[in-house]
């Protein structure tokens, strides 16, 4: 009985310790522009890019991000080491299974690009639009869901109502590796594998008769220069820490902000100010875990045996963590 209760108590302490070290599914690695909207559990929040809470903000499975004009974001997905760039005027949903290794993105409108490390085992990543699905296991690719621009002759007479009925272009393109593209809802035979510098396009019109059957068949094409030009001006953030899972997270309002290395060109003084929170968070974690160990030992002694052999180690561990946290807090105050 004593060993069983001791095991339960140790497991509780271990789970609490792991909760402090838990990593987010994804976080914002880069941001520029004006603002974006985060939709989480049906609640909509507008975040200015200049906010201190943006860089390092935790992204949860199911979150929808909507960027405004001239706003550009890059996310880093921890479990699969993937970087996702979200261009301006884009609506994009992030999702994953319980482990985070089977990750997906849903592009409602706009432009995204993903750089996915070579995946192993059952890990996977795919991006879907209302018309196409692109699955990869390690590549650099992207998707567009954008309105087809009217011709110059038609644009002079088009009304806003006509513009709203413009056909929508669904596109998948590949910069490196290969991408398997399929229809989101259709025959599994209508699939195509594209490689470096290739793409697939499909036009979805309000009036289906305005699109020929040939335009509905998935056929790979040579990548157009416009796509290269657009994304070459927006390189991926380099040196995203491989140990992202070990970064410290703190709660700010209804989001979690994770400390991280800022991309080159960011304000170094702002980076220093942000990193000053790390010792305080670590001190809080140590004191909290130490107190939990002492309380657990006290409860154990009153309910089981005040002379149990597990009590000295529990009390010692608790006092060591509390002392270390206190010293760290004091040093942090002196450094400030």
> What are 37-65's pLDDT values in tens digits?
999 999 999 999 999 899 989 999 999 99
pLDDT band of residue 234 (cuts 50, 70, 90) is: confident
Look up the pTM and report it.
0.64
Task: Give the pLDDT confidence score for residue 309 in this predicted structure.
Answer: 66
Task: Give the pLDDT confidence score for residue 205 in this predicted structure.
Answer: 75
- Cα–Cα distance for residue pair 87/69, rounded to 1 Å: 9
Task: Give the pLDDT confidence score for residue 103 in this predicted structure.
Answer: 92
Task: Give the pLDDT confidence score for residue 187 in this predicted structure.
Answer: 55
Task: Give the pLDDT confidence score for residue 308 in this predicted structure.
Answer: 64
Task: Give the pLDDT confidence score for residue 64 in this predicted structure.
Answer: 97
Long-range contacts of 227-231 (CB under 8 A, 24+ apart): 227/142, 227/144, 227/173, 227/199, 230/87, 230/111, 231/85, 231/113, 231/142, 231/175
In the predicted structure, residue 18 carries a pLDDT above the cut 50: no
- Cα–Cα distance for residue pair 1/194, rounded to 1 Å: 62
pLDDT band of residue 78 (cuts 50, 70, 90) is: confident
DSSP state of 90: -
pLDDT band of residue 212 (cuts 50, 70, 90) is: low
């Amino acid at each position: 009985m004593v060993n069983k209760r001791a095991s339960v108590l140790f497991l509780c302490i271990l789970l609490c310790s792991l909760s402090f070290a838990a990593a987010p599914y994804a976080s914002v690695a880069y941001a520029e522009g004006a603002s974006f909207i985060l939709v989480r559990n049906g609640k909509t929040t507008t975040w200015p890019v200049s906010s201190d809470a943006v860089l390092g903000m935790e992204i949860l499975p199911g979150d929808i991000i909507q960027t405004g004009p001239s706003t550009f974001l890059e996310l880093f997905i921890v479990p699969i080491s993937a970087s996702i760039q979200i261009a301006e005027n884009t609506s994009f949903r992030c999702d994953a299974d319980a482990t985070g290794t089977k990750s997906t993105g849903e592009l409602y409108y706009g432009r995204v690009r993903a750089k996915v490390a070579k995946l192993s085992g059952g890990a996977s990543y795919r991006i879907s639009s209302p018309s196409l699905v692109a699955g990869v296991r390690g590549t650099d690719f992207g998707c567009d869901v954008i309105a087809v621009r009217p011709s110059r002759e038609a644009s002079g007479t088009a009304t806003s109502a006509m513009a709203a009925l413009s056909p929508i272009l669904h596109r998948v393109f590949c910069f490196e590796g290969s991408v398997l593209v399929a229809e989101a809802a259709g025959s599994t035979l209508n699939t195509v594998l594209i490689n470096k510098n290739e793409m697939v396009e499909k036009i979805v019109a309000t009036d289906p008769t305005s699109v020929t059957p040939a335009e509905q068949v998935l056929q790979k094409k040579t990548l157009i220069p416009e796509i290269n030009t657009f994304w070459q001006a927006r390189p991926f953030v380099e040196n995203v820490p491989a140990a992202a899972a070990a970064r410290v997270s703190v709660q700010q309002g209804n989001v979690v902000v994770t400390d991280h290395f800022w991309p080159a060109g960011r304000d170094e003084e702002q980076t220093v100010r942000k990193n000053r929170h790390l010792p305080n968070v670590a001190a809080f974690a140590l004191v909290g875990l130490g107190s939990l160990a002492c309380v657990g030992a006290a409860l154990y002694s009153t309910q089981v045996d005040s002379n149990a052999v597990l009590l000295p180690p529990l009390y010692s561990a608790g006092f060591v963590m509390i002392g270390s946290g206190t010293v760290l807090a004091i040093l942090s105050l002196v450094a400030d």
